[in-house]
Amino acid sequence: MRSPHSAFRVYSSAGLSIVSLALILACGGGGGGNNSGITIYKDQPTISASVFQGQGTYQNSTITPTVLAGTYSPVPAALLYPYVTASAPGFVALDSTVDIYNNGTFSASFTPDSSLAPGTYPGTISVKVFQDAAMTIPIAVTGGSVPFTVTVTRPLVVNVLYQAGSLNGVSPTNNNGSINIPDGTTIEFDSINQIPFTVMYSSGAVGLPAVSNIVTSQYTWTAKLSMTASYADPLSLTVVAADGSPQNVTVTVNVQSID
């Protein structure tokens, strides 16, 4: 017998009965039907999802689940109990849901697994359906499988080089860094994973050091930081992934006078 689901609820929405299950997303799986069964018609032939390694574990970073929807027929009079299996890693276990409505529609969501190493993860998701909550009476399903591809991309990680040393491995999961540099020092940011980036900072603000002699490329940024007459505050330099993904790191720089 399969393990119980982690959550189960039945309620009404806009006059429709719905069964919503938080499902165990297991690798492999068997089962089969012993009756005329149902046919699932999916709104897309495949599932594709992308995520950055570690995404969802750092501040202001969330992972949007991938959604699969469609219809099924015939619509039985009794409740249906779905169960999902995956042939390979790619999505987070216990973080998938299937909603089955009694108007013949369904919706399923799957969250990509950002804990996986960077790479491409192909596989197949299969939806099985049962007549009972204990999942001992299967219903035959046609069209219940859909291939998927999950792509896990390397995260933005930067090294900061300056006159007196370096600050290495600053990343969204370790989003902090502070350095002290002499007046007039040139600093350099390097994207060690070759993720294109830009650098954001407050320009010309009262109390902040001046930024000049800026030289940029896809994977590097250098600039000279100098004290100003009104200088009193440290300068925050925020490295932002150029593709608009929710990845950024901030380095706080204190510019000090040379004795």
Which tens digits make up the pLDDT trace of 57-88?
655 567 778 888 899 898 877 788 888 888 89
Percent of the chain with pLDDT over 90: 25
Look at residue 142 in the predicted model and tell me its pLDDT: 92
Look at residue 211 in the predicted model and tell me its pLDDT: 92
- Within a domain: residue 2? no
Question: Where is 115: in which H helix or E strand?
Answer: none
- Quick one: 25 and 141 in the same domain? yes
- Quick one: 95 and 205 in the same domain? no
Phi first, then psi, for residue 23 (nearest 5°) are -100, 150
Cα separation of 90 and 65, whole Å? 12
Look at residue 20 in the predicted model and tell me its pLDDT: 44
Look at residue 99 in the predicted model and tell me its pLDDT: 81
Question: Where is 101: in which H helix or E strand?
Answer: strand 91-101
Q: Among 30, 25, 159, 33, which residue's Cα sits nearest to residue 98? A: 25
pLDDT at 23 over 50: no
Look at residue 223 in the predicted model and tell me its pLDDT: 95
CA 41 to centroid of chain Cα atoms: 27
| 66: Cβ contacts below 8 Å, ≥ 6 apart | 47, 48, 49, 91, 109, 110, 111, 112
248: CATH: 2.60.40
Query: Which of 153, 178, 211 is at the close of a domain?
Result: 153
Q: pLDDT tens for residues 198-241? A: 999 987 777 888 899 999 999 999 999 998 877 778 899 999 88
- Within a domain: residue 74? yes
pLDDT at 148 over 60: yes
Cα separation of 216 and 199, whole Å? 9
Angstrom distances, CA of residue 39 to CA of 23, 74, 107, 139, 195: 20, 7, 15, 10, 44
Give the CA dihedral 201, 202, 207, 208, nearest 10 degrees: 30
Residue owning tokens 């006159």 = 163
- Quick one: 140 and 251 in the same domain? no
Residue owning tokens 């999902």 = 84
- Quick one: 37 and 118 in the same domain? yes
Q: pLDDT tens for residues 155-172? A: 888 999 998 788 888 877
Query: Which of 105, 124, 153 is at the close of a domain?
Result: 153
- Quick one: 248 and 126 in the same domain? no
| 257: Cβ contacts below 8 Å, ≥ 6 apart | 182, 183, 227
Q: Which residue has the higher pLDDT, 56 or 26?
A: 56
Confidence band of 259 (pLDDT split at 50, 70, 90): low
First-to-final CA distance of the chain: 76
Q: pLDDT tens for residues 123-146? A: 998 888 888 888 899 989 999 899
Write down the pTM of the prediction. Answer: 0.67
Query: Which of 153, 184, 212 is at the close of a domain?
Result: 153
- Within a domain: residue 165? yes
Look at residue 82 in the predicted model and tell me its pLDDT: 84
- Quick one: 149 and 55 in the same domain? yes
Do strands 235-241 and 197-200 pair parallel, antiparallel, or not at all (unpaired)?
A: antiparallel
Q: Which amino acid is at 96?
A: S
Look at residue 61 in the predicted model and tell me its pLDDT: 60
DSSP state of 64: P
- Would you say 95 and 113 are in contact if contact means Cβ atoms under 8 Å apart? no
Percent of the chain with pLDDT over 70: 79
What count of Cα atoms within 13 Å lies in the side-chain half-sphere of residue 36? 4
What order of strands is seen across the sheet that includes strand 141-142?
Answer: 7-13, 16-23, 91-101, 105-112, 66-73, 38-42, 141-142
- Quick one: 141 and 166 in the same domain? no
Q: Which residue has the higher pLDDT, 173 or 99?
A: 99
Look at residue 35 in the predicted model and tell me its pLDDT: 54
| Domain housing 62 | 7-153
Look at residue 83 in the predicted model and tell me its pLDDT: 83
Q: What's the whole-number average pLDDT of the chain?
A: 79
- Quick one: 109 and 65 in the same domain? yes
